[in-house]
Amino acid sequence: MYAFSNAVNSMHSEDIKQLMKQASGKSMISFAGGMPNNDLFPLKQIDAIYNSLPEDIKKLCFQYGPTSGYPPLVKSLENYLENKGLAVRNNKILITTGSLQAISIITQEFVNEGDIILTENPSFVGALSVFETFGAEIHSIPIDKDGIDIQALKDKINSLNRTPKFLYVTPNYHNPAGIIYTPKRKKELLEVLAGTGIILLEDDAYSDLYFEVEEKQLTRSMKSFGVKNVEIIYTGSFSKILGPGFRLGYMLSSEEIFEKAESVKQALDACTSNFMQILANEFLAQHKLEPYLEFLRSEYLERKNLLQRHLEAYMPKEITWNEPKGGFYIWLKLPAHIKSTDVFKETVKEGVVFVTGRTFDPASKKDDRLRLSYSNMPKDSIEKGVIILSTAIKKVLENSEVTLK
């Protein structure tokens, strides 16, 4: 046994390893992975881009780049974010190796062991694993169908004897809860944070994946609201809109936060792959993103509709959920007396996997939910998967009644 540091123990990174294993199990029907479907990637577009790169740019693909990012990509991202209403000019962009690295950098930048971080409950498991790795004390606040519970957030802040470093939220097409914050809830959230010194970490990986164009206005980021008395760090990702294999994300923050973040990134991996940055830049600069997103939106809408329809047809009446309006996830609610972990034990025997509710609880306890991802499976497997899942749930429900008697 070696003298490991205090940082290395994280329950949630074990959960993720398990998740990765489930997601890559070939013969399984998997509702588990939060990744795009292999058949939807823009192979042809990237082929065309790669093969038309001028030789001098292609050479740059192989070389180191600045720690902050490949300058033309930073420029393209500025345009992209400005189109989303973000005030890029008074802020700085740092390109990261996936948006998980952005979360990791921000945590390293602000958090000493024992510092408090606030999260939603449920929360993105990847972020939880980062916070644990840096020894943060995580306090979580419940969410409902409109966003974080404002009263619970106020009560939590008032109950703490020291100021949390930041509040981590994923307001648009929440992972795992599938909801989108209402504009009212976003506004209320900013009001609660105003003047507290608690930084808002706004993780926005899914906002481009709304199903209907009328939804678009609801995806507006809190960073674009122009509030002066809340410091907001905004993170985004190429993983859901171009491919996780690129490992490209970014953060948008004030210059002071950017400067320190750049130094942290320098020590983490020096710079993000120029190769991937150059391909992504051409994708943006050649205006290939928006038509590709339109294709993705219709594909994911179709998958969501399929899953929704089959859930309606097969699920016992005790099971409820909110129909998502974008993103990758449906978050099923079970009766409080049964556990998603018990349902999982049944479905896995029949070749179906999903992610249990407790995975997304910072305390790894609350287990009356389960996450179904419709993004990454063949469309014709959805019905079969739902039948196996509903059969398993019925079995667990019946067993629980037997136990109650």
Nearer to its own copies, 9 or 217 (CB): 9
Q: Does 13 contact its own copies by CB under 8 A?
A: yes
**128: closest CA among 13, 24, 38?**
13
Q: Does 247 contact its own copies by CB under 8 A?
A: yes
How many CB atoms sit inside 10 A of residue 114's CB? 10
Q: Which stretch binds its own copies (CB under 8 A): 62-70, 140-148, 200-208, 212-220?
A: 62-70
Question: Can you list the alpha helix ranges (DSSP code H) found in 255-381?
Answer: 255-269, 274-285, 289-314, 340-349
Interacting positions 185-214 with its own copies (CB under 8 A): 197, 199
Q: Which stretch binds its own copies (CB under 8 A): 8-16, 151-159, 346-354, 357-365?
A: 8-16
Alpha carbons 106 and 88: distance in angstroms, whole number? 18
Q: Which stretch binds its own copies (CB under 8 A): 37-45, 177-185, 353-361, 387-395?
A: 37-45
x/- letters, 373..402, toward its own copies (CB under 8 A): ------------------------------
Query: Any bridge partners for residue 347, and if so which?
Result: none
Q: Does 269 contact its own copies by CB under 8 A?
A: yes
Nearer to its own copies, 239 or 390 (CB): 239
* Consecutive H or E run containing 279: helix 274-285
Alpha carbons 54 and 404: distance in angstroms, whole number? 71
Half-sphere exposure of 56 (CA within 13 A, CB side): 0
Nearer to its own copies, 121 or 133 (CB): 133
Q: Does 231 contact its own copies by CB under 8 A?
A: yes
Query: Any bridge partners for residue 140, and if so which?
Result: 119
| Spatial contact of 196 and 157, defined as CB atoms under 8 Å apart | yes
Candidates 76, 221, 272, 373; binder of its own copies (CB under 8 A) is 272
Work out the angle between the directed axes of helices 274-285 and 43-51 (0-180°, nearest 10).
100
Please report how close the Cβ of residue 198 comes to its own copies at its closest, in angstroms: 11
Alpha carbons 96 and 232: distance in angstroms, whole number? 17
How many CB atoms sit inside 10 A of residue 55's CB? 7
What residues contact residue 25 under an 8 Å CB cut-off, 6+ apart?
A: 353
| Spatial contact of 84 and 133, defined as CB atoms under 8 Å apart | no
Q: Which stretch binds its own copies (CB under 8 A): 58-66, 86-94, 286-294, 383-391?
A: 58-66
Q: Which stretch binds its own copies (CB under 8 A): 10-18, 140-148, 302-310, 338-346?
A: 10-18
Please report how close the Cβ of residue 248 comes to its own copies at its closest, in angstroms: 9
Q: Which stretch binds its own copies (CB under 8 A): 4-12, 143-151, 318-326, 358-366?
A: 4-12
Buried b / exposed e across 268-300, counting CB within 10 Å, b at 16+?
eeebbbbbbbbbbbbbbbeebbeebeeebbebb
Candidates 30, 31, 32, 65; binder of its own copies (CB under 8 A) is 65
Nearer to its own copies, 50 or 225 (CB): 50
Q: Does 7 contact its own copies by CB under 8 A?
A: yes
User: Residue 227, exposed/middle/buried by CB under 10 A (0-12, 13-18, 19+)?
Assistant: middle
| Spatial contact of 136 and 117, defined as CB atoms under 8 Å apart | yes
Nearer to its own copies, 108 or 390 (CB): 108
Interacting positions 94-133 with its own copies (CB under 8 A): 96-98, 100-101, 104, 108-112, 115, 126, 129-130, 132-133
Q: Which stretch binds its own copies (CB under 8 A): 258-266, 296-304, 331-339, 390-398?
A: 258-266
| Spatial contact of 353 and 28, defined as CB atoms under 8 Å apart | yes
Candidates 73, 192, 271, 389; binder of its own copies (CB under 8 A) is 271
Candidates 28, 94, 242, 252; binder of its own copies (CB under 8 A) is 242
Please report how close the Cβ of residue 135 comes to its own copies at its closest, in angstroms: 10
